[in-house]
A and B are shown apart, each in its own frame.
Chain A
C-alpha cells in the first residue's frame, strides 16, 4: 500500500516497485481506430476521468461528449452501431449499469449492437461511497442476455481489450482501469483471450479463482502464503461472460481448496459463477469467498476501504491463513 498520501478517485493501489502504465484504455482505443478507422468514442461528462482525452486529441472528429446523460450516451451509441461503426462509451460503472440499464439491455444487447461500454470506478476503486462505487455491476450486466462482460486485471489487459473490443461480437461491458494502472502481466508475452481463463503457478494447496485486479492481489498473497509453506496457484478469469466453466472446474479439481476473489459484492458475481461451474461439473471443494459484503460501502480512502473489506494482498493472505488455521469449511 502507498503510504503518506490518499489515492485519487479511481486510482488503483500501486505496489511498490511494480511498473505501471498511464491511460492504457486510451492507448488501446487509439490503436483500434488507427488500425480499422471505424471507432467512435463517446462519453457523458467524464471524458477527463475516463482516459478519453488522448483519443479526443488524436481523433477530434471521432469523439463526442453527450453531457451528463447516460441514457443518451447509450442510445446514441446504439444508433451509431446501427450504421456500422463501433461505438466505444465511457462513464462510471455505477451510472452505466444502474441508470442506463434498460438502454444497454434493449437498445444494445437485444439487437446485438456493437456498443462497447468501458465503465470506470469498478468496485472499491473510489472513495466516493455508494453512489460512485460500481459494486454490483458485474451481476447486473451478466444477467443481460447476449452481453459480454469483462473485468481486466491490469494495464496490459486493459490496453489489449480496448484494442480488441471492436472485433468482439455485439455489446460488451468492460470495467475500466484508468489513470496510472499497474502492469502485472508482461505485454510481450500476455495475450488477453476473450472467454479464456489463465492459470498462473502450479501450487495445489490453495487454488485462487479471481477476476479483475483481485488477480494481482491473489498473486501477491500467494507469495506471502509460500513463506508459510502453503503452495498456491491462481486462475485469472478476466471474462465473466462467456465464463470459462471448463477451465474453472478443471482447475478446482486440481487443488485441495478453492478461494474466490472479486472486487464486487458476493451476490451474483464471480463466486456465484464458480459455484455454478463446480456444481455442474461435480467438483466439490472447500471454498472461501473473498469480496464485498452485501451492502453499500461508505466513503473513505481507497487503501482504507480495500483493507477494511479484505481486498488487499495482505488481507487476502490473512483471510486464507486464518481459514486454513481454523479448518473451517466456509467463511465470510
Chain B
C-alpha cells in the first residue's frame, strides 16, 4: 500500500477506474440489472481510495491496524465487489454471480458474508455513526489507523446522519474522513428533498469541508492529501459525481438510480465503455 503523500500514477489510477467499470458491467450483465449508475459515478473514487489512499492489505482484511472503510450505501455493493475482485479479495469469476441465489455477492453489502465488508449497509443513515464510533474506538486504543466512510446525498435526509455528524464533531474525531457522494438522484428520481447547500451544512456542523469533482482523479487525490494533513476536526469531501459516468448513453439516462437495459444491450454498453475510454 502507498506511503503518505506518495505521488500517485494517475494513468495507473485511470486504468483501475476503467477496470472497475468493466467489473461492474460484468456483474450487471450477469444479473440483468443493478445499481450501475452510482457505481460508475464512483469508479474514480474507489480507484483513488483502494489503489492510493487506504492502508489495507487484502491478505489480512482483519488486521488491527488497517484503515477502515465503511460503505453506508449498501446498495452500491456492485462497486465494492468490483474493487474486491481487483484486489483479490474475491475471485474474478464470481462477478457473474452478482445478485444470484446463493452468491456471496449480494445486491447489498452484508457484514460477515464477504471478508472486507466492514458494515451492513442499505438501511440508510447508519454509516456515518458507525464510522464515528470506530474512529473513537481507535483513538481510545491509540491505534493510528484512519476511518473512511462513504455516504450518499440522499442519506443527508436521514436525521441519524446529522446526529452522527454532531457526535463526530463534538468528539473532535480528526481520524475520520467522510466522502459524501452527491449524485443528485434517489429512488424516486432527482433528489426529492433538496439538500443544498451541502458544504455549508457540514461546515455548520463543525466539519472541515472540501468540495471536488468526484470524477476527477486529480481533485480526489488532492482532497485525500488535504484530509491527511488537517487536524482537530472530522473532515468531509463532498464529491459531485455523475451517475453512469463512463458511458455517455448511461450518463444521459434520466432513470439512473437503478439501471435496467434490454438483454442484448450489455455487449453494446461494453463496447461503448472501451471506445469512450480508449
Residues on A close to B: CB < 8 A? Answer: 40, 61-62, 64, 66-67, 69, 71-72, 74-85, 87, 102-103, 106-107, 110-112
- Determine the residue in chain A with the shortest Cβ distance to B133: A79
- Provided the pairs A78-B130, A103-B129 are in contact, do residues A83 and B163 lie with their beta carbons within 8 angstroms? no
Note all chain A residues with C-beta closer than 8 A to B166: 66-67, 69, 72
> Among A40, A74, A80, which residue has the most Cβ atoms of chain B within 10 A?
A80
Contact check, A76 vs B140: say whether CB atoms are below 8 A apart.
no
Note all chain A residues with C-beta closer than 8 A to B137: 40, 79-85
Instruction: Enumerate the 8 nearest inter-chain pairs by beta-carbon distance, A residue then B residue, closest first.
Output: A79-B133, A75-B129, A83-B137, A72-B163, A76-B133, A79-B134, A69-B163, A71-B160
B26 within 8 A of A: no
Contact check, A77 vs B160: say whether CB atoms are below 8 A apart.
no
B141 within 8 A of A: yes
B79 within 8 A of A: no
Contact check, A111 vs B112: say whether CB atoms are below 8 A apart.
yes
* B 123-143 contacts with A by CB, 8 A: 123, 125-126, 128-138, 140-141, 143
> Among B111, B132, B163, B171, which residue has the most Cβ atoms of chain A within 10 A?
B163
> Among B133, B137, B167, which residue has the most Cβ atoms of chain A within 10 A?
B133
Cα A84 to Cα B125 with chains together (Å): 23
Cα A76 to Cα B130 with chains together (Å): 5
**A174 → chain B closest CB, angstroms:** 20
**B185 → chain A closest CB, angstroms:** 23
Contact check, A64 vs B136: say whether CB atoms are below 8 A apart.
yes
Contact check, B129 vs A106: say whether CB atoms are below 8 A apart.
no
26 contacts between A and B (CB under 8 A): A64-B136, A69-B163, A69-B166, A72-B129, A72-B167, A74-B129, A76-B129, A76-B130, A76-B164, A77-B133, A79-B129, A79-B131, A79-B135, A79-B136, A80-B134, A80-B140, A82-B133, A84-B137, A85-B137, A102-B126, A103-B160, A107-B119, A107-B120, A107-B126, A107-B129, A111-B120
Cα A67 to Cα B132 with chains together (Å): 15
- Provided the pairs A71-B163, A72-B163, A83-B143 are in contact, do residues A103 and B126 lie with their beta carbons within 8 angstroms? yes
Note all chain B residues with C-beta closer than 8 A to A87: 133
Note all chain A residues with C-beta closer than 8 A to B131: 79
Residues on B close to A: CB < 8 A? Answer: 64, 68, 111-112, 118-120, 123, 125-126, 128-138, 140-141, 143, 159-160, 163-164, 166-167, 170-171
Other-chain contact of B130, A64, A66, A67, A107 (Cβ < 8 Å):
A107
**A321 → chain B closest CB, angstroms:** 49
Note all chain A residues with C-beta closer than 8 A to B112: 111-112
- Provided the pairs A61-B140, A110-B111, A111-B120 are in contact, do residues A79 and B163 lie with their beta carbons within 8 angstroms? no
**A171 → chain B closest CB, angstroms:** 13
Cα A76 to Cα B139 with chains together (Å): 13
- Determine the residue in chain B with the shortest Cβ distance to A110: B120
Note all chain B residues with C-beta closer than 8 A to A110: 111, 120
Contact check, A64 vs B126: say whether CB atoms are below 8 A apart.
no
Contact check, A66 vs B134: say whether CB atoms are below 8 A apart.
no
Note all chain B residues with C-beta closer than 8 A to A75: 126, 128-130, 132-133, 160, 163-164
Note all chain B residues with C-beta closer than 8 A to A74: 129
**B51 → chain A closest CB, angstroms:** 24
Contact check, B141 vs A111: say whether CB atoms are below 8 A apart.
no
- Provided the pairs A77-B133, A79-B137 are in contact, do residues A106 and B123 lie with their beta carbons within 8 angstroms? yes
Contact check, A71 vs B130: say whether CB atoms are below 8 A apart.
no
Contact check, B167 vs A111: say whether CB atoms are below 8 A apart.
no
Cα A112 to Cα B120 with chains together (Å): 11
- Provided the pairs A103-B129, A107-B126, A111-B111 are in contact, do residues A71 and B159 lie with their beta carbons within 8 angstroms? yes
- Determine the residue in chain B with the shortest Cβ distance to A83: B137
**B192 → chain A closest CB, angstroms:** 21
Other-chain contact of A106, B118, B126, B135, B143 (Cβ < 8 Å):
B126
> Among A75, A78, A81, A82, which residue has the most Cβ atoms of chain B within 10 A?
A75
Contact check, A67 vs B167: say whether CB atoms are below 8 A apart.
yes
Note all chain A residues with C-beta closer than 8 A to B119: 82, 107, 111
**B201 → chain A closest CB, angstroms:** 17
**B10 → chain A closest CB, angstroms:** 33
